[in-house]
Amino acid sequence: MGQNLTLHVNKCIYDVTGGTDSGTAGAITPADAVSIPDNAIIKNCITYTSVAMVAASGTPTIKIDCGGIALVAVQNCVGHASLADEKVTVNAVYDKTTAAGPPIVTIADANINAGVVEIITEYYLATSQGA
Protein backbone atom coordinates (compact mmCIF):
# COMPACT_ATOMS: atom_id res chain seq x y z
CA MET A 1 0.00 0.00 0.00
CA GLY A 2 1.30 3.44 -0.88
CA GLN A 3 2.21 6.21 1.52
CA ASN A 4 1.85 9.95 1.37
CA LEU A 5 5.36 11.27 1.85
CA THR A 6 6.32 14.60 3.36
CA LEU A 7 8.66 16.83 1.39
CA HIS A 8 11.20 18.27 3.85
CA VAL A 9 12.95 21.56 3.15
CA ASN A 10 16.32 22.60 4.59
CA LYS A 11 17.59 26.15 4.11
CA CYS A 12 20.93 27.72 4.92
CA ILE A 13 22.71 30.85 3.73
CA TYR A 14 26.33 31.03 2.61
CA ASP A 15 27.13 34.69 3.40
CA VAL A 16 30.57 36.11 2.73
CA THR A 17 29.37 39.71 2.28
CA GLY A 18 27.96 39.94 5.82
CA GLY A 19 31.03 38.24 7.28
CA THR A 20 29.06 35.25 8.58
CA ASP A 21 31.00 32.73 6.46
CA SER A 22 34.52 32.56 5.06
CA GLY A 23 35.38 33.24 1.44
CA THR A 24 38.78 31.56 1.80
CA ALA A 25 39.30 28.59 -0.51
CA GLY A 26 38.33 25.37 1.25
CA ALA A 27 35.31 23.44 2.55
CA ILE A 28 32.92 25.70 4.49
CA THR A 29 29.86 24.71 6.47
CA PRO A 30 27.51 27.72 6.45
CA ALA A 31 27.03 29.08 9.98
CA ASP A 32 23.28 28.40 10.00
CA ALA A 33 23.41 24.99 8.26
CA VAL A 34 21.37 22.15 9.74
CA SER A 35 22.10 18.47 9.19
CA ILE A 36 20.17 16.45 6.60
CA PRO A 37 19.67 12.81 7.66
CA ASP A 38 21.45 9.75 6.32
CA ASN A 39 19.43 8.03 3.58
CA ALA A 40 17.52 11.22 2.73
CA ILE A 41 16.33 11.16 -0.86
CA ILE A 42 17.33 14.55 -2.22
CA LYS A 43 15.04 15.90 -4.93
CA ASN A 44 16.37 19.40 -5.66
CA CYS A 45 18.86 21.95 -4.45
CA ILE A 46 17.65 25.47 -5.17
CA THR A 47 20.17 28.28 -5.09
CA TYR A 48 19.25 31.94 -4.85
CA THR A 49 22.11 34.39 -5.28
CA SER A 50 21.04 37.56 -3.46
CA VAL A 51 24.52 39.12 -3.74
CA ALA A 52 26.75 38.13 -6.66
CA MET A 53 30.09 36.60 -5.78
CA VAL A 54 33.20 38.72 -6.21
CA ALA A 55 36.62 37.12 -6.63
CA ALA A 56 39.47 38.39 -4.49
CA SER A 57 41.65 37.42 -7.47
CA GLY A 58 41.79 34.70 -10.08
CA THR A 59 38.85 32.49 -11.00
CA PRO A 60 37.32 30.77 -7.96
CA THR A 61 34.99 27.81 -8.30
CA ILE A 62 32.15 26.65 -6.06
CA LYS A 63 30.45 23.32 -5.44
CA ILE A 64 27.90 22.27 -2.85
CA ASP A 65 27.80 18.78 -1.36
CA CYS A 66 25.80 17.10 1.39
CA GLY A 67 25.91 13.66 2.93
CA GLY A 68 28.27 12.21 0.36
CA ILE A 69 26.50 13.50 -2.75
CA ALA A 70 26.81 16.54 -5.01
CA LEU A 71 23.99 19.08 -4.75
CA VAL A 72 25.57 21.59 -7.14
CA ALA A 73 28.39 20.58 -9.49
CA VAL A 74 31.65 22.55 -9.70
CA GLN A 75 31.17 25.87 -11.48
CA ASN A 76 32.83 29.25 -11.79
CA CYS A 77 31.72 31.47 -8.87
CA VAL A 78 31.86 34.72 -10.74
CA GLY A 79 30.95 34.09 -14.37
CA HIS A 80 28.44 31.24 -14.22
CA ALA A 81 24.88 32.27 -15.18
CA SER A 82 23.29 30.19 -12.40
CA LEU A 83 25.10 32.33 -9.78
CA ALA A 84 24.33 35.73 -11.30
CA ASP A 85 22.97 38.46 -9.01
CA GLU A 86 19.30 37.82 -8.07
CA LYS A 87 19.29 34.47 -9.91
CA VAL A 88 17.22 31.48 -8.73
CA THR A 89 18.39 28.10 -10.04
CA VAL A 90 16.86 24.66 -9.48
CA ASN A 91 19.51 21.93 -9.51
CA ALA A 92 17.88 18.49 -9.95
CA VAL A 93 19.70 16.01 -7.69
CA TYR A 94 17.63 12.80 -7.36
CA ASP A 95 20.11 10.91 -5.20
CA LYS A 96 20.29 9.50 -1.67
CA THR A 97 22.63 10.71 1.06
CA THR A 98 25.10 8.14 2.38
CA ALA A 99 25.73 9.99 5.64
CA ALA A 100 24.02 12.62 7.76
CA GLY A 101 25.43 16.12 7.50
CA PRO A 102 24.83 19.75 6.59
CA PRO A 103 25.32 21.24 3.12
CA ILE A 104 29.00 22.08 2.60
CA VAL A 105 30.19 24.80 0.24
CA THR A 106 33.62 24.27 -1.29
CA ILE A 107 35.45 27.26 -2.76
CA ALA A 108 38.51 26.31 -4.82
CA ASP A 109 41.24 27.84 -7.00
CA ALA A 110 40.96 31.34 -5.45
CA ASN A 111 39.26 33.21 -2.60
CA ILE A 112 36.08 35.27 -2.81
CA ASN A 113 35.50 38.46 -0.85
CA ALA A 114 31.75 38.96 -1.39
CA GLY A 115 28.65 36.96 -2.16
CA VAL A 116 25.48 35.57 -0.62
CA VAL A 117 23.82 32.34 -1.77
CA GLU A 118 20.74 30.83 -0.17
CA ILE A 119 20.81 27.02 -0.39
CA ILE A 120 17.40 25.33 -0.23
CA THR A 121 17.45 21.53 -0.24
CA GLU A 122 14.27 19.52 -0.82
CA TYR A 123 14.24 15.90 0.35
CA TYR A 124 12.14 12.93 1.43
CA LEU A 125 12.98 10.54 4.25
CA ALA A 126 13.58 6.97 3.14
CA THR A 127 11.12 4.45 4.59
CA SER A 128 13.69 3.26 7.12
CA GLN A 129 13.88 6.86 8.40
CA GLY A 130 10.16 7.08 9.14
CA ALA A 131 8.81 8.35 5.82
Sign of torsion over alpha carbons 99, 22, 77, 33: positive
Residue 110 lies in a domain: yes
- Based on DSSP, count helices (H) and strands (E) in the chain, helices before strands: 0, 8
pLDDT of 84: 86
1: in domain = no
130 has a pLDDT exceeding 60 = no
Query: Across-strand partners of 63?
Result: 106
pLDDT tens for each residue of 46-61 = 999 999 999 988 999 9
Q: How far apart are CA 111 and CA 105, in angstroms?
A: 13
pLDDT (tens digit per residue) in 72-92: 999 998 878 888 889 999 999
Task: Tell me whether residue 103 is in a domain.
Answer: yes
Split into its structural domains, the chain has a count of 1
Please report the pLDDT score of residue 4 as a whole number.
78
Query: What is the model's pLDDT at position 5?
Result: 83
pTM of the model: 0.91
**What is the CATH number for 88?**
2.60.120.1110
Range of the domain at 69: 12-125
Q: What Å distances lie between residue 67 and 45, 78, 101, 103, CA to CA?
A: 13, 26, 5, 8
Is 130 within the bounds of a domain?
A: no
